[in-house]
Structure 1
Amino acid sequence: MAKKKKKNQKNKWTHHYRMVVLNDDTFEERFSLKLNRLNVFIVTIISAVLLIGLTTVLIAFTPIREYIPGYADVTTKKIALQLTKETDSLKQLVATNDEFYGRIKMLLNGDITADEYARIDSIAKVETTVEVPDLSPIKEDSLLREEVAQADRYSVIAGAKAKTNFVFFPPVKGTISGNYDTEIKHYAVDVVAASGTPIKAAADGTVVFASWSADTGYTILIEHAYGLITVYKHAGSLNKEQNDQVLAGEVIAGVGNTGELTTGPHLHFEIWSDGYPLDPTNFINFE
C-alpha cells in the first residue's frame, strides 16, 4: 500500500496536462500546450533566477540604478567627496586663523595667559638643553667683544630662526616715557613725540590689523619675516589698511593720543617673536 502511494505521488509530477485557449463564442481551439507539474516548476525556477540576475546586472552596471531610491549617481558622489575634503580643509584653515587672531587679540589687550608663558618657557628650556662648548671671552679680548656687542645692539636681531641679519628701523624718534617691564605686563616702550609725528614701519612686512580699539585707540600690527610682529598703538590716524604691504621706513600712521589707556601723545611700540615679547630697546635706538 505504501509503495502504491509513493508511485502515485511520483506520477503527479510527471502526469501530463493540457492548457487550451478557446474562442468564447465559437469554442474554437486557438492554442494548446501540454504541461506537467515538473516542467512548470523548472521553468518557474529558471525564470526567477534569470529575472533576479538581470535585475542585479541592471542595478550594478547601468545608470538605471540612479532612479532607485537610496542610490546616487557617480557624479553626485564625486561632488560630495570633493565637498567633504574642502570642508575639512576649511575647518583646518578656520582653526588656524582663530588661533592667529587669538594671538593678535592678546597683543592688543597686552595680555598673555599663564599657559602661554608655560608653553614659551618649555620651548625655551628645550632649546637651551643643547650642550654648547664654553665660549666665554678671555680677559684680553673682552673689551673688543663689548664694543662689537654695543655696535650691534641697535641694528641686528640674530635669533635661532633668523637666517640673515634682520634690521629694525626706528618707528619714531623721541623720549622714552615708559620702559619694557614684564612684571607689570608692559611689553613695550612708550615713546613721547609731538602729535602728528609720522610713525614708520620698523621693517618690511604685511599689515595684519589696522583698526580702532577702545583701550588702545588707532592700532596697527605688521607681520614680518621669521615670525616677528610689531605693534603700534595710540596713533592719531592710520595711513595703511589690513593686507597692505609696507617697506621699512614707510609712513604707516601718525602719533596721537587715542584710546583710554593713554595720558598724552606718544607711540606704544611692541616687538613679538613667535608669541614671545621682546624689549624693543635691545634692537632700536629711539633717541
Structure 2
Amino acid sequence: MKEKKKKPKKIKRKLLDKYRLVILNENTFEERLSFKLTRLNVFVLSSLLAIFLITLTYLLIAFTPLREYIPGYSSTALKKQATELSYKTDSLQHVIFMNDRYYESIKKVLKGDVSVEEFNKDSIIEAVKLEASEVDLNPNLQDSLLREKVDKEDKYNLFESATSASNFVLFPPVNGTISSEYNAKEKHYAVDIVVAKDTPVKATADGIVIFAEWTAGTGYVIIIEHSYGLISVYKHNTALTKEQGDLVKAGEVIATAGNAGELSTGPHLHFELWNDGYPINPTNFIDFK
C-alpha cells in the first residue's frame, strides 16, 4: 500500500520540480536570459504551440490560395476555365452536328439523290390530291348553331365584354427623390429613386410575377407582367416577398429596397417600365414624390 501511494507523489513531484533555463555568453559567461520551468509548463506550452501551428496550417490551406501549391488541390481558376471550355465544346459539337446534317442535305439535292417517294407520306401532298368537288362545304347542324351564337354575342355583347385602358392607373412603388432620370440616349431605361434602407417596395399594378431571383450586379430583382403588354422591373432589393408565378395586387408589398448588387451606389430602387418590348419613361405615368 505504501509503494502505491509513493508512485503518484513521485510523478507529481517530477512534473512540478522547478528547473532553470539559462542563456550565457560563451566568451564572458555573462547571464543573458533565464527562465524558471517545470515539466508540466513545458508540456502545456508545447501542446498549445502544436495546436496553434495546426490551426494556422488549416486556415492557410482552407482560406488562402496557398492550397494550390499543395499536391492534391486543384486551382479554382483552372476549374472555372475547364467548366467554360466544357460548355463551349458541347455547343460546338451541336453546331458541327447541325452543319453536317445541312451539308448532307445539300449534297443529296445537288446529286439528285432525293426521291419523290420520301414525300409521299406528307399530309400536304395527300391533301392536294383531293378534288374540291369531293369535299362537302355545306355547314352541318352543330356548325350552324355555333355560327348563330357567335353572331349574337358579337352583336349584343360587344360593349359588355370590352375593357377600357383609360381606367388603368399605376401605383408608385416607392416615394422619394429621383437621383437618376430616365435617359434613352445613355441606355438608362429606368429611374433611380433614393429611399431609406428596408423601405417596402410595392407593385405598381395588378399582375403576375414572371421573375424573382438574385443577381450579382443588381441584387434581388423582381419582374411583374401586367395588362396591356406592360412589364415593371424592380432592382437592387435586399429581400423579396413574392416568388415566380405569384399573383399580386396594385400597392401590395413585393420586396424590400436596399443597397444590394455590385452596381449599386447606395440605398435606392431601380424601377423600369416596358410596354410591348419598348422602354417607357415611368415619370410620365407615376408621381414618385
Q: Give the TM-score normalised by the residue count of structure 2.
A: 0.43
Please tell me whether Structure 1 or Structure 2 has the larger radius of gyration of its CA atoms.
Answer: 1
